[in-house]
A and B are shown apart, each in its own frame.
Chain A
Amino acid sequence: MMMQYYEVCERELWFLSRNIEIDRENPAVVRGTHVDDETYEEKRRNFSIDGTISLDVLDDGQVLEVKPSSSLVEPAKLQLLYYLWYLDRVVGVEKSGVLAHPTERKRESVELTDENAARVEDAIRGVHEIVTRESPPPAEEKPFCESCAYYDFCWSC
């Protein structure tokens, strides 16, 4: 999930990396940051790799990532690319991926090109740099802030 948060909000990534718990009764938490992708009805199997990565593979062998909303396409895509990169570079299997949306019929196929691999590697370095910081990146108002589980924690000031 780290990759998605890296794209969405670096501050949220830092909070998550520190396991900062927010109040479960918080209305924003109930609203939920991310769409529950269980709603996507398709034959797929969930694999766990090295105990750290959990991904969905379709019957045809493509790795599936569900994009929760049109504003979160890039984060979902980066997450998918990270899976493909991990499979290729760490596990040693080449796969292609598909980015899908539960309500739209459209799907986008995603390949690990050289350019995309470089993007993933940059992101890995970026994530590492953020989570090892002493304090989180400062809060910046973003369009998703209001639905973020950390909203009150973040902005109570």
Chain B
Amino acid sequence: MDRNYHVFSDGRLERNNDTVRLVTEDGEKKYLPVENAEALFVHGQVDYNTRLMSFLDDHGVAMHVFGWGDYYSGSIMPKRGQTSGQTLVEQVRAYDDPERRLGLARKFVAGSIHNMRTNVKYYDNRGHDFASIVETLEDCRGNLDEADDVDEAMGVEATARRAYYSIFDAILPEGFVFGGRQYNPPNNEVNSLISFGNSLVYANVVSAIRATALDPAVSYLHEPGERRYSLALDIAELFKPLLTDRLIFRLVNRGQLSTDEFETELNSCLLTESGRKTFSKAFEETLEETVEHPNLKRKVSYQYLLRLEAYKLKKHLLTGENYEPFERWW
């Protein structure tokens, strides 16, 4: 599977023969084999030039830039000859038809509620009593069918997510106090981890969409182009519970990330470089985990599930066949 490379040091990224080289500020040279790379994730302060950009473009490698605040700052996407006018037309048609748009928006919310519920049930079976939260999520799932427009569907998703986040404080160990979602910038360690994790999910979805000729700015649940690539926001909703939240619980409860790994300044609390490294490494390992796919009859990685989700959506748009959102089946 295509790999992501994370760059944490400050310095200069440059093309060196047939590879990418990072020259750090103290002159150290590191080589990144981009042959089979999906994307570079840049976390440090990095200079680069057009020669590097066209090299990455030739190899179809995206560059996702992570900065301060809510972490994700932007992507530089390869042009990738494969744009499809027809796919874009079908994407816009579905957006323009209120019923179809609502149908898709509901699917994204339904899938994301299902995946939140899976996490809640997991911890409900491990010494917590989250029965009432499971019930709330099931009610939300029921109310979703009555949502008459996309705003209402969004409202249902927000209610579900609030209920879901309410279990975090019970699961996390002492020293990690959540108290509700805050971002831009995150105000405490837990929010910081959620922001960082979700922005990694988001960037990986952007890469997955890129492989399909879908236009990442035409979306259904989120308003198109509202901010960033809104279709990636739609799809990322489905995967946050699987990729971000479970990882946070694991890292924090096992003491692999302590409160020392955060820097607090003004109103913000952000991961230190070593905290980001730990989290990114564990995140990449999660992406490589595999699961038996019921229809493809082979094991696929979590990362490939993102790609499949983009295929499923594209197939729905181009063939009219039903789209069923990713719902954790194992």
Contacts and interface: CB of A to CB of B under 8 A. Distances in A.
Interface of A: 18-21, 23-25, 134-136, 151-157
B296 interface: yes
A21 B84 contact: yes
Contacts, number: 44
A21 B82 contact: yes
Interface in B61-108: 82, 84, 86-87
B23 to A, nearest CB: 29
Contacts of B82: 21, 24
Interface string B298-330: 000000000111011011001111001000000
Nearest to A155: B295
A152 B324 CA distance: 15
Nearest to A134: B320
A20 B309 CA distance: 17
B9 interface: no
B86 A18 contact: yes
B212 interface: yes
Nearest to B86: A19
B2 interface: yes
Given A23-B211, A25-B2, A136-B319, A156 B295 contact: yes
Contacts of B296: 151-152, 155-156
B268 to A, nearest CB: 39
B114 to A, nearest CB: 16
B120 interface: no
Q: Which 4 A-B pairs have the closest CB atoms?
A: A156-B308, A135-B320, A155-B295, A156-B311
